[in-house]
Amino acid sequence: MREKRPGLMVYGPLIAFILGSAFPFYWSFLVASHDDAEFTANPSLLPGGNFFVNAGRVLDSIPFWKALGNSIIVSGTVTVSVVVLSSLAGFAFAKLRFRGRGPLLVFVVATLAVPTQLGIVPLYMAMAEFGWSGTLGAVIVPNLVTAFGVFWMRQYIADAVPDELVEAARMDGCSMIRTFWHVGLPAVRPAAAMLGVFTFMTSWNDFLWPLIVLNAENPTMQVALEKLQSGYYVDNSLVLAGTTMATVPVLIVFLVLGRQIVAGIMQGAVKG
């Protein structure tokens, strides 16, 4: 069955959907590029010339660069850690034999359904006790490895790494960790990359816990945006200049890695 090329009936709704998807971003930039009072009186669909003025005011209002740096440090550390530790555990679950492997893996999967976010009260008390509140460690450490990551890597490694290869490495006298390093790691690169992208985005967006445990002087990007918005007099141009500036890095990442993200979601769907 050769399909014919789709026509306007397909492209029309798709274009409409994507325009709808992109519009809020454009709107944000639109408001950010005008003077607030003037824009309220005379809304327009064309960008104004005030963006850099508003951006400058954002830099005066919140520690923008610090927040950006903090978010990169937090998300970067969490991503590297989740990818490495999940690969290690996934490799063990997929390719190594040990007592209790089945039940332990079932346990990992079961924890996927546990809303651990609801444990924030004691977590906060613990962080305060250790003097960690306000530090980046408080938002990094709880996220160093995830059940999703372990399960995802386990599913991938089970198919991608031949048992014979593991066996051969063992016969050559490789220790477990070297077997992982030389046989496991090289094979998991595509899955690790996807896990990395997802972890980075999840961490970048994390809000409730950072809002509780961090403060306005040492925030992540999301917390800084919240502070920007929570002034008593809301200046839309100022706030949306902030959101625009915070969105640009994410959009760049998306343009570079979008293809992989799409592939990752679709591949994960088939496995799940």
Q: How far is the CB of 204 from other proteins (least distance, A)?
A: 6
Instruction: Say how far apart CA 251 and CA 254 lie, in whole Å.
Output: 5
Using CB under 8 A as the binding rule, the residues of this chain from 9 to 28 that contact other proteins are 10-11, 13-14, 17-18, 20-22, 24-25, 27-28
Query: Binders of other proteins: how many residues, by CB under 8 A?
Result: 108
Instruction: Let me know if 103 is exposed, middle or buried by CB neighbors in 10 A (0-12, 13-18, 19+).
Output: exposed
102 interacts with other proteins by CB under 8 A: yes
Q: Cα angle at 265 between 261 and 267, to 5 degrees?
A: 115
Member of 55, 67, 139, 147 binding other proteins (CB under 8 A): 147
Phi/psi for 263 (5° steps) reads -60, -40
Using CB under 8 A as the binding rule, the residues of this chain from 118 to 137 that contact other proteins are 118-126
Using CB under 8 A as the binding rule, the residues of this chain from 38 to 57 that contact other proteins are 40, 43
Member of 8, 42, 60, 97 binding other proteins (CB under 8 A): 97
Which residues, other chains included, contact 193 with Cβ-Cβ below 8 Å and sequence gap of 6+? 260
- Choose between 52 and 114: whose C-beta lies nearer to other proteins: 114
CB 238 within 8 A of CB 36: yes
Collapsing DSSP to helix, strand or coil, 116 comes out as: helix
Using CB under 8 A as the binding rule, the residues of this chain from 196 to 255 that contact other proteins are 201, 204-205, 207-208, 212, 221-222, 225-227, 229-232, 234, 236, 239-240, 243, 246-247, 250-251, 253-254
Member of 55, 83, 94, 169 binding other proteins (CB under 8 A): 94
| Cα distance between the two ends of the chain | 29
- Choose between 49 and 259: whose C-beta lies nearer to other proteins: 259
Q: How far is the CB of 58 from other proteins (least distance, A)?
A: 12
CB 191 within 8 A of CB 160: yes
